[in-house]
């Protein structure tokens, strides 16, 4: 039998299996028992596991059950296609695909080197003396900037993965030093990328490996350069604290390697909630501040350690945003950037309740989401662009997001809507989301009924 990939769906005969419904309790139990076979010292070990492992195992069950011998796709999800192809035969990947990926790799590696050279060589060196600080923090993402609130009163050097402002970690070096480091990153890039692909081929299969080659081709020079730059910075802070917001991806594992090399105490204050399922590599950090007390207990037990801590004062600094209380709470739906069609499906299902009670539904986009995904409902909602306005004094509706925790620190109520198996499985994999203050609904029907009751109670207090 031949299977097809249509967007996010695997079609086998008359049956359809969407990505959000393919994960099962049986698969979760399998990985709980067999996680050791996925362990490795590769910095992408966690990234690869999250991206491929569950989808591949689900595909293997379906391929075997239905006797699938081949798979085709025109514009379907590339990761799903790779997993199904490896479920059929993980040793074979079409030579044309492999040839294209190798050519793509060569162009992208050189192209990103040239791009980074253009960006990184701008700006003069900014002198900073390590002996003036008790530690340092390198921020890679916008979300990680929340750590600034936590570290604001401490003598910590704060550096950012930006290109041309005084806080850029690139400006710790002269232009000549920057260029030399970038050249070294270029030289090592193909070797590093081949190592990533070898890891994925061994653990998951040739097609997943080929998919990863394309994904990392545009990222490997920057990853290599990041390690080289930060290694030089950490050497100046030998024996001091190294603060980070990364906790499980390749950058987190690179940071752990650097910290061990220079005897830095790695302190992780993550910008998001923690997975509760076992990962091939434990969350990084000598000290790891969790987003809830329950998470700290849960993770210390799961990983057989005592490095996970909960500090309510740190949590408040992480999640609280300064705001003014105004009468009446608004209803805000926070989107997720992945699978935006699910966001649309939920909004379409609950809009009739809002219209019935003439209550406005506000929409706050995830930073990586796009307005064009919401053309079907955009005329029936009001978009709110300011995060502080959205998260404060609101009824915050989300699927499985840190927003549900942040709302609790900002005079808001949390409402979780989990209308499919995948969302429910993921939600339950986050210990922090077990907080009893989060109102959970497992279907749009139950959410609509809950909103009806809420509108009846709050009445004219809503806006």
Indicate the SS3 state at residue 322.
coil
413-417 vs 438-441, strand pairing mode: parallel
Summarised one tens digit per residue, pLDDT across range 211-229 is 999 999 999 999 999 999 9
Contact residues for 33 (Cβ-Cβ < 8 A; gap 6+): none
User: Are the C-beta atoms of 284 and 253 separated by less than 8 Å?
Assistant: yes
More confident residue, 54 or 152: 54
CA of residue 42 relative to chain centroid, distance: 19
Work out the average pLDDT over 71-88. Answer: 94
pLDDT of amino acid 20: 75
Q: What number of other Cβ atoms are within 10 A of residue 339's Cβ?
A: 18
pLDDT of residue 329: 87
Residue 291 contacts residue 315 (beta carbons within 8 Å): yes
pLDDT value, residue 77: 93
Give CA–CA dist 183/301, Å, rounded. 44
Predicted pLDDT of residue 325? 64
What pLDDT score was predicted for residue 245?
92
User: Which option is the CATH number for 97-319: 3.40.50, 2.60.40, 3.30.1560, 1.20.1070?
Assistant: 3.40.50
- The angle subtended at Cα 171 by Cα 166 and Cα 174, nearest 5°, is 140
* Radius of gyration for the chain, computed over Cα atoms and rounded to the nearest angstrom: 24
At the topology level, CATH places domain 330-461 in Rossmann fold (3.40.50)
Mean residue pLDDT of the chain comes to 92
Mean pLDDT across the stretch 271-275?
86
Q: For the chain, give every residue range classified as CATH 3.40.50.2000.
A: 330-461
Helices 25-34 and 54-66 cross at an angle (nearest 10°) of 120
Range scoring the smallest mean pLDDT among 187-191, 239-243, 420-424: 420-424
């Amino acid at each position: 039998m031949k299977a097809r990939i249509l967007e996010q769906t695997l079609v086998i005969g008359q049956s359809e299996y969407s990505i959000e419904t393919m994960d099962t309790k049986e698969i979760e139990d399998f990985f709980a028992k067999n996680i050791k076979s996925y362990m490795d010292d590769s910095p992408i070990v966690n990234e690869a596991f999250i991206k491929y492992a569950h989808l591949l195992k689900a595909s293997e069950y379906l391929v075997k059950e239905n006797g699938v011998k081949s798979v085709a796709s025109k514009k379907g999800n590339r990761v799903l296609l790779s997993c199904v192809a490896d479920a059929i035969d993980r040793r074979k990947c079409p030579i044309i695909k492999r040839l294209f990926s190798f050519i793509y790799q060569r162009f992208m590696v050189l192209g990103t080197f040239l791009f980074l050279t253009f960006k990184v060589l701008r700006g003069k060196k900014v002198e900073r003396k390590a002996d003036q600080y008790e530690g340092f923090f390198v921020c890679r993402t916008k979300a990680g900037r929340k750590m600034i609130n936590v570290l604001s009163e401490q003598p910590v050097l704060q550096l950012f993965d930006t290109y041309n402002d005084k806080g850029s970690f690139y400006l710790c070096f002269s232009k000549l030093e920057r260029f030399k480091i970038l050249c070294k990153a270029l030289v090592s890039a193909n070797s590093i990328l081949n190592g990533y692909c070898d890891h994925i081929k061994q653990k998951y299969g040739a097609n997943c490996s080929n998919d990863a080659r394309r994904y990392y081709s545009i990222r490997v020079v920057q990853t290599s350069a990041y390690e080289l730059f930060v290694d030089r910075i950490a050497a100046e802070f030998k024996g001091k604290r190294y603060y980070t917001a990364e906790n499980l991806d390749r950058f987190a594992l690179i940071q752990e390697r650097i910290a061990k090399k220079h005897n830095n105490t790695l302190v992780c204050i993550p910008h998001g909630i923690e997975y509760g399922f076992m990962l091939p590599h434990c969350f990084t950090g000598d000290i790891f501040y969790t987003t809830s007390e329950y998470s700290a207990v849960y993770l210390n037990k799961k990983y057989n350690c005592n490095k996970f801590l909960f500090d309510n004062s740190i949590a408040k600094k992480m999640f609280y945003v300064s705001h003014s209380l105004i009468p009446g709470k608004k209803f805000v739906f926070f989107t997720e950037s992945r699978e935006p069609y699910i966001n649309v499906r939920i909004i379409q299902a609950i809009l009739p309740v809002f219209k019935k009670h003439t209550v406005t539904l506000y929409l706050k986009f995830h930073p990586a989401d796009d307005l064009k995904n919401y053309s079907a409902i955009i005329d029936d909602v009001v978009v709110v662009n300011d995060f502080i306005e959205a998260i404060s004094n609101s009824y915050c509706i989300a699927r499985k997001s840190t927003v549900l925790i942040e709302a609790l620190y900002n005079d808001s109520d949390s409402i979780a809507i989990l209308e499919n198996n995948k969302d429910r499985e993921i939600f339950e994999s986050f210990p922090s989301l077990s907080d009893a203050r989060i109102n959970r609904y497992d279907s749009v029907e139950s959410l609509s009924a809950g909103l009806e009751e809420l509108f009846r109670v709050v009445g004219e207090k809503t806006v």
